[in-house]
Structure 1
């Protein structure tokens, strides 16, 4: 080990200072690089948000309005006495327009969620059993080849967004029909117990265990069955976001013996 003499101290101090300066410069450079990367990511995020805003405008106007016009025209034509074949074709047009409207609504909600707005809800008193029954009546027209059964349990007060509940039930029923079997149909339960629940059950191929944890993430599908009925994979994601907006929870159970059940749980009003 070399010992510094008294007259070496200024040199040692200068070397130490230079070493600290080099370390500080290196740290400053790293901070500058990190700051530039942060600003770059921020600018990219702003660009994505702007694109999302533009997409919202396109979806809300350029797609929803024409679909509404198609549905209205088909409903007006349906008021006439048409031959059975034409009435059947008209029914297909109406159902296709309704399905496209649901898809547009899911895309719009997904975009709003991605830019941080979340799904908005307008909470009002709701007659849950009546709402579920009316929703299933409409869905029976959309899916005439499937049996939809409503099971009611209990009575009570419920505060919710009725339009969002329609959307939630529609997505879960469409999912049950797309991935379930026609045998046994689809059963929708609305229950008042220690909490409020809406459950949708179907028989069919169970959801693979490895998919259950991420099933409510966007673009995730339960299986490859019934490809013709599949959507873009946003339905269950929208269901989860609607339930969260109501301060609730949603879960799924699936087995060969019991079938598949999606259960949305909501707190009772205080």
Structure 2
């Protein structure tokens, strides 16, 4: 059995078959009607035969002309599909800048617009992927190069004894930087596969914030930052959430603030109890334009004005948003260029440990 793969041929053959069948039906019906009514039509058998032979070339001419017209219409109707197929093959080869040119406003036109939107999104994602690979390569190569250089200097005994502790500290910081990058990549991989899970538990949010700030004290000192914890609460605030993941959220947000704060500036961490626990982290850095605020949550997003100029791979804020989404809460950002930025998120409250464990 012959299988036709072209929709153009299928449509064309279908129209021709319908055309021929319609002529056959017309011919049979005419034959029966004329034969039974020759007397009434004042036709003899010879005249009927002449009429019959005239009908045959007329049908051939009709089928030919109509067939050509059908060929034209079928080709015109299927042209958008052929165009989409052509561009799809190019897109499959990585040419994401390709667009289909369909001017109709019917369903095929809508399909073309959807296809163009898809290729635009693929092009954006491909560019972010390329930028991401370049950024990751740079962020891995820089600390590895530093560690390699220091290790070689130690092996060659070229570092004075009084400087060794300093360079060991630098190597430790570079190693921690690589570990954080790898951890971010693993977290993003889990997020994309839907395997990132949270394990809520009761914990002291106030104490967690204090611990995070204490752990990051070296970063504050190196940049001469004044970091303040501002809370008007008399008692510590307890929440029900994933302790480790919220620790990760707070660390990422404070590190983000540190990276984009100028030397001798201030970072403020607000902690208060409302209907929920509210955590806000404010810096007085360059700020974010309103056009870029929505984009900062995207994976791999990097733009100088969107706070990714100095470090990072564009994963931190995306991971933060996903972690908070798993907690069924959101994060808000308020920013003004040249003034600073504030990130705020909330967590469900628990009054105290005993109430939660009942």
TM over 0.5: yes
Local SS of the residue matching 1:207: coil
TM-score by length of 1: 0.65
**2:201 paired residue among 83, 106, 124:** 124
Q: Is the 8 A contact 1:249 1:266 kept in 2?
A: no
Cα 1:104–1:88 shift into 2, 3 Å: same
Cα 1:178–1:190 shift into 2, 3 Å: same
Cα 1:240–1:122 shift into 2, 3 Å: same
Partner Cα separation in structure 2 for residue 203 and residue 114 of structure 1:
33
Partner Cα separation in structure 1 for residue 204 and residue 244 of structure 2:
13
**2:175 paired residue among 97, 100, 104:** 97
Partner Cα separation in structure 1 for residue 251 and residue 167 of structure 2:
23
Give how far 1:218 is off.
Answer: 1.1
**1:218 paired residue among 299, 306, 319:** 299
TM-score by length of 2: 0.50
Q: Which has the bigger relative contact order, CA under 8 A and spacing at least 6?
A: 1
Aligned residues: 211
Larger radius of gyration: 2
1:255 match: 336
Q: Is the 8 A contact 2:231 2:271 kept in 1?
A: yes
Q: Is the 8 A contact 1:153 1:189 kept in 2?
A: no
Q: Is the 8 A contact 1:178 1:225 kept in 2?
A: no
Give how far 1:119 is off.
Answer: 2.5
Q: Is the 8 A contact 1:249 1:264 kept in 2?
A: yes
Partner Cα separation in structure 1 for residue 270 and residue 256 of structure 2:
16
Unaligned stretches of 5+ residues in structure 2: 1-22, 33-62, 64-69, 75-80, 93-139, 148-159, 351-355
Partner Cα separation in structure 1 for residue 168 and residue 296 of structure 2:
35
Q: Is the 8 A contact 1:179 1:223 kept in 2?
A: no
Cα 1:177–1:227 shift into 2, 3 Å: same
Local SS of the residue matching 1:101: helix
**2:288 paired residue among 207, 224, 228:** 207
Give how far 1:232 is off.
Answer: 0.8
Unaligned stretches of 5+ residues in structure 1: 10-14, 24-29, 42-62, 71-81
Cα 1:89–1:257 shift into 2, 3 Å: same
Deviations 1:160-194 (A, max 9, x none): 11211221111111211222223323222222212
